[in-house]
Structure 1
């Protein structure tokens, strides 16, 4: 069904921040983001895209509906024509969830075809959905049957193919569109970072010997939700011997005095923007041991050096080759990427360590408006503990701005 919008009314909030005052013109952000999707389609000579990834659906429309749940199933999708409508296919007939959004020209209940809901009728219902997409391509594809799709099951792809639709890579369309942020987007990201840092301070206030990793992590969740955030993508908090090697998620283990506790927020905050920072604290405070102090100093040096080499026009390869050398004792435990993009979630690019660049890396160029996370994990191979640090930064016209402001040492100060 077509959706009516009032061009003079203030932009309506949706989701967790409803009934609050936005810091920017949300409709301007919404239309600019959709315009970037369409510009990327045009640049690639593609007539349309079909997005199932809920981050891409959010970016294109700003409509939210059970995003985590819908990430498990092909329950929501957005069709974007390069020259034509933007149509939201939703989990059920719930048009009030898209009310007032200027990005959405039409709302349709989706004939869902994932096995849980469709069972033996999955192929039939996939066909019903594919019929609608084929009609849209006939109307808005100017004879071009190529459709950029970010992710879709074999069942859905086969249904489209039977109707003459050629599925082509669509994730790159969205990732490239999302890579550069407008000034208004950056204000929303700053709001998410501010909420994240307040949540981190709530964690720090509760951080004392005897608290479990899970209980400490819960403080981050509670504050994020209270402040209008949406979810946290991982559970990356660990203490003491669980910090080395990295990537153990939080547990029922009680944190002991004098142990290092490291965490990575991976937090989707207000307005759906990601605040992705990492810190390491010493339980109970006081002076760290020589080994703990050395780990922290190396991690701080890595972060500082790798931020210092960032500037517009620099290639990913140049960044990789000029990056901080963690040293042989820490190389095997290095973090998988030096630097990665961030927006509504972690995103393109992922810049690899020099040792990994030829095998795993790819090149590109830093441009103003990119927001990046600079990573460090320092833990000796076979060592007792490790320190995880991460800062969120913006590439500016003449260098780099650090967006996160939480102290980077063992204490909050």
Structure 2
């Protein structure tokens, strides 16, 4: 996206508008992949990661399963040609796409599918990959790959290919969103917010964490969404430290309830929202209010700080200063990219910069999640908040309509 392109942050879900947007989104995403190949002087990229395949081609086939069982793969060339090796009898998932596509049958060499024949089938697979590259990019020996099991990588290297980091290329391609992508992301967010509204209505003492979490799944699937990456919902003393996944624990009146949606919704776009409530929607205690005020301050201070052109290091250095009391239990990052799933970049806290930070620059069109977790070391409760935003010429614009508990402030 160029600096002069208008970013549409409108929020109304509109299926007709979404369908009209898809051709432009597909063209934008494929162009971004090709741009990375040209930038890295690489003729082609081999994709196994189902999210990368979705980004480059807008095809989806059993994404959770194929993420664990590499059984469909795609090669995208710098000139825009696409070869797809599809899972058994699944060519129909490509219907309606205008990609100038060459379709082949996938060769799977996981132990599940090949057993003791895995190495032999990997040789068959590798010979085909080498042949395809040599015929369509003569005299080229460089190939980017995003994910590849050791047997496959060893075969390609042994046969003269130089493998490049395709995951890095795809992360960079996915960084900047077009205005059409924001239309699709907004549709996912509206579905997620329906789930959050349902959770808010249903929340009451006596139900389990899992009972409540099921409401988000219900609305996601009902609105055409796909899956939820985590199960991050916790109540009571399980809110401190963060990262307890939801359980059969029974919710108690007046305690804190916190969640992080990590929801892959309609059209494969992620909605990553965190909120914290009290069970029964009771008035918070003084301690709950203090925790919430700190988390709210962290999120909104950092949102106000974010600007295109700012470096990651500068943002980390200037970010909200966390009181020592909460530092030990801090969230893993200050902010992170977001698109089809969590994406580059991940911005380290200043205290973690030497061990986990890396620099870069924020750009117009990046979509990000600004994070906070506030819980005292040794405490028995904590607050998790997260807001999904887009960077525009004028700064950081929220994409999320879901309200905060401003009455607690």
Q: TM-score, normalised by structure 1?
A: 0.93
Aligned match for 1:228, one of 224, 227, 236: 224
Q: Which residue of 1 aligns with 2:249?
A: 253
Aligned counterpart for 1:143 among listed residues 139, 145, 159 = 139
Q: Is the 8 A contact 2:85 2:106 kept in 1?
A: yes
Displacement, 1:56?
0.3
CA distance in 1, matches of 2:219, 2:146: 33
Q: Per-residue deviation at 1:250? A: 0.2
Secondary structure of 1:22 counterpart: helix
What is the rounded CA distance, in whole Å, between the counterparts of 2:159 and 2:88 in structure 1? 25
Indicate the SS of the match to 2:18. Answer: coil
Q: Confirm whether residue 44 of structure 1 aligns to residue 44 of structure 2.
A: no
Cα deviation per residue 1:217-236 (whole Å; 9 max; x = unaligned)?
00000110001110000000
Deviation at 1:202, TM superposition (A): 0.6
C-alpha offsets along residues 116-170 of structure 1, whole Å, 9 cap, x if unaligned? Answer: 0001111111111112211121123341211111111001112222322222211
| Residues 19-75 of structure 1, C-alpha deviations (whole Å, 9 max, x = no match) | 977354212111210111011110111111001111101000011110000000111
The normalised TM-score by structure 2 is 0.94
Q: What CA RMSD, in Å, does the superposition of the two structures yield over aligned residues?
A: 1.6
Contact 2:273/2:387 (8 A) holds in 1: yes
Q: 2:320 aligns with which of 320, 324, 336?
A: 324
Q: Which residue of 2 aligns with 1:5?
A: none
Q: In 1, distance between residues paired with 2:21 and 2:251?
A: 44
Counterpart check, 1:240 vs 2:236: yes
Give the aligned partner of residue 53 of structure 2: 57
Q: 1:189-248: CA deviations, max 9, x gaps?
A: 011011101110011111000110011000000110001110000000000000000001
Q: Report deviation, 1:407.
A: 1.0
1:97 is displaced (CA, Å) by: 1.0
Please show how residues 286-365 of structure 1 align to structure 2 within 5 Å. Answer: 286-365=282-361
With over 3 angstroms needed to count, the CA separation of the structure-2 counterparts of 1:268 and 1:243, relative to structure 1, is same
Q: Secondary structure at the match of 1:25?
A: helix
The answer on 1:265 being equivalent to 2:261 is yes
User: Is the counterpart of residue 100 in structure 1 residue 76 in structure 2?
Assistant: no
Unaligned runs of 5+ in 2: 1-12
The yes-or-no answer on 1:30 pairing with 2:8 is: no
- Residue-by-residue CA offset, 1:338-375 (whole Å, 9 max, x unaligned): 00000000000000101011221100011100000000
Q: Structure 1 residues 411, 100: CA separation in 2 closer, same or farther (over 3 Å shift)?
A: farther
Shift of the 305–105 alpha-carbon distance from structure 1 to 2, 3 Å rule, reads: same
What residue is the counterpart of 1:383 in the other structure?
Answer: 379
Partner of 2:193: 197
> In 2, are the aligned partners of 1:200 and 1:220 still within 8 Å (CA)?
yes
CA contact (8 A) 1:316 1:366 kept: yes
Partner Cα separation in structure 2 for residue 240 and residue 179 of structure 1: 36
What is the number of equivalent residue pairs in this alignment? 395
* Counterpart residue number, 2:105: 109
